[in-house]
């Protein structure tokens, strides 16, 4: 399903999704630390 959907762009899509996931986790941790300090 995924291979037929994205075709040759599968690797690019996976890298982008991992980057977005890492950014979301980083934002969550930064926000949590900021709220704890106040």
What pLDDT is stored for residue 17 in this prediction?
96
Whole-prediction pTM value? 0.66
The predicted structure's pLDDT at residue 1: 58
pLDDT in the model for residue 32: 85
Closest listed residue to residue 13, CA positions, set 26, 23, 21: 21
pLDDT, tens digit only, all 38 positions of the chain: 566 777 788 889 899 999 999 999 999 999 887 777 66
Q: What angle do CA 18, 13, 1 make, to 5 degrees?
A: 115
Number of domains within the chain? 1
The string of DSSP letters for 1-38 reads -HHHHHGGGHHHHHHHHHHHHHHHHHHHHHHHHHHHH-
- Alpha-carbon distance of 2 to 17, in angstroms, equals 13
Say what the pLDDT of residue 9 is.
Answer: 84
């Amino acid at each position: 399903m995924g291979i037929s959907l994205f075709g040759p762009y599968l690797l690019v899509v996976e890298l982008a999704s991992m980057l977005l996931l890492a950014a979301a986790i980083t934002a969550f941790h930064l926000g949590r630390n900021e709220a704890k300090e106040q």
